[in-house]
Amino acid sequence: MSGTVRLYVEHPLGQGQTIPLERAQAHYLFGVMRLEAGAELLLFNGADGEWRAEVAQVGKRGGVLVCREQSRAQAAPPDLWLVFAPVKKAQTQFIVEKAVEMGVAHLQPVLTEFTNSERLRVDKARLHAIEAAEQCGATYVPEVAEPQKLSRLLDQWPAERRLLFCDEAQAGGSSALAGLLALRDRAAGPWAILIGPEGGFSEPERARLQGFDFTHPVALGPRILRAETAAVAALTLWQAALGDWQ
């Protein structure tokens, strides 16, 4: 079903299950994508896998879909968080979308001393995450948490979750990939990646992060990267060394 429409729904999925459409979903399927009664599409809800479905009823303000058969079992990404300081609107949207495409389980925005951006709207970020999952074939949509201060997040950090601290002050240092590969045999369990704001981390923040046993400071190459580039680079390195790209 190459090119088939994929749609996220907040409704249980199963053989013969009917799914009533909200007005916005009906507009997208029938007004934008021009689907008609009998057309096939793919549905997922983040819990029941992906299902082939058929348009049973078409309407301007709604409609009904019917599940026919499961096309893919439910799959979750690695237990990986992306912790990031919000940047400008378009760049934050980019970070959210790429994180979903590359495979994270949880998105945690944080406010650092140098965070300087518009207020992040969690509802909008959630919509971007859903759209990315629809487009990339994922059956899982990561949670987007409410922003919180980095200091508070660290106060309650679970010690079993390792933290890949992407420290711009170490640019040009030892290879992040080599360091992660060296951890491969003893790095099972939950992880998180921390990306800072445009202004980087303050010295007190850097000192505190480096003082934890669960922290692994790394350089992302010989140059200082923009926040959105650093997120993609760090996710790529982690997935290649320790994630589900192996």
CATH number of the domain enclosing 39: 2.40.240.20
Among candidate residues 25, 54, 72, the one where a domain is terminated: 72
Q: What separation in angstroms does the CA of 3 have from each of 6, 137, 239?
A: 9, 11, 27
Q: What separation in angstroms does the CA of 179 have from each of 119, 174, 190?
A: 35, 8, 17
Pair (44, 135) in one structural domain: no
Per-residue pLDDT band at 199 (split at 50, 70, 90): confident
Residue 172: the pLDDT is 65
* CA–CA distance, 196 with 18 (Å, rounded to integer): 44
Q: What are the pLDDT digits (tens) for 161-185?
A: 999 999 888 776 666 777 777 777 6
Pair (63, 90) in one structural domain: no
What 3-state class would DSSP assign to 78?
coil
Pair (64, 87) in one structural domain: no
Q: Is residue 1 part of a domain?
A: no
Per-residue pLDDT band at 1 (split at 50, 70, 90): very low
The number of folded domains in the chain is 2
Q: Is residue 10 part of a domain?
A: yes
Residue 220 belongs to what domain range? 80-241
Q: Is residue 246 part of a domain?
A: no
Q: Directed axis angle between helix 89-102 and helix 227-241, to 10°?
A: 10
Per-residue pLDDT band at 128 (split at 50, 70, 90): very high
pLDDT at 145 over 70: yes
Percent over 90 (pLDDT), the chain: 77
Pair (17, 107) in one structural domain: no
User: What's at 64, amino acid-wise?
Assistant: V
pLDDT at 3 over 70: no
Pair (98, 150) in one structural domain: yes
Torsion, Cα 133 134 137 141, to 10 degrees, reads 30
* CA–CA distance, 227 with 83 (Å, rounded to integer): 12
pLDDT at 189 over 90: no
Give the tokens for residue 239. Answer: 């997935």
Pair (228, 210) in one structural domain: yes
Q: Is residue 159 part of a domain?
A: yes
Higher-pLDDT residue of 223 and 107 is 107
Pair (131, 236) in one structural domain: yes
Pair (126, 52) in one structural domain: no
Pair (119, 57) in one structural domain: no
The b/e string for 96-135 (b: 16+ C-beta within 10 A; e otherwise) is bbbbbbbbbbbbbbbbbbebebeebeeeebbebbbbbbbe
Q: Determine if the pTM surpasses 0.85.
A: yes
